[in-house]
Amino acid sequence: MGSTFMVDLVVSGANDLYSVPVQLQYDPQMLQLLNVSNGGLLAQGGVPVALVHRDDPTTGTVQVTATRPPNSGGATGQGAVFTLTFLAKNSGQSNLSITRAGLRDAAMQNIQASGTQAVINIKGKQ
């Protein structure tokens, strides 16, 4: 296959959003995670965002945490927190789901969040 594609993790209705630790699940037979890069939401005000991730390609589990600098307050609004870049390994359908989300505000208090599941259709070369 060899095709790459990007998926944004988008948050809407953010108010004082400071840190976004999430765990995602993908099908490692269908997808290979290549990269995780910052989106624009947490970088409001031009602050640098710390982004760390740990991928287990055998189980298809990736943990990502994006955090604003200390004493920078939280972000508001809607936008991409980070972007995942995948390599399509096979043709077919694959799910990408948020299995755990622990959003936090600038006081490190939990923010209620719910995620959705994406269905990715991978087509072979025509």
Q: What is the pLDDT of residues 18-44, one digit of tens each?
A: 999 999 999 999 999 999 999 999 999
> All domains of the chain, ordered by start, with CATH?
4-122 (2.60.40.680)
Q: What is the pLDDT of residues 108-125, one digit of tens each?
A: 999 887 777 777 777 764
C-alpha–C-alpha distance, residues 125 and 1, integer Å: 8
* DSSP conformation letters of 2-71: --EEEEEEEEEEEEEEEEEEEEEEE-TTTEEEEEEEE-SGGGGGG---EEEEEEETTTTEEEEEEEPPTT
Higher pLDDT, 118 or 78: 78
- Model confidence band, residue 126 (pLDDT cutoffs 50, 70, 90): very low
* pLDDT averaged over every residue in the chain: 90
C-alpha–C-alpha distance, residues 10 and 100, integer Å: 15
Residue 62: phi and psi, rounded to 5, are -130, 135
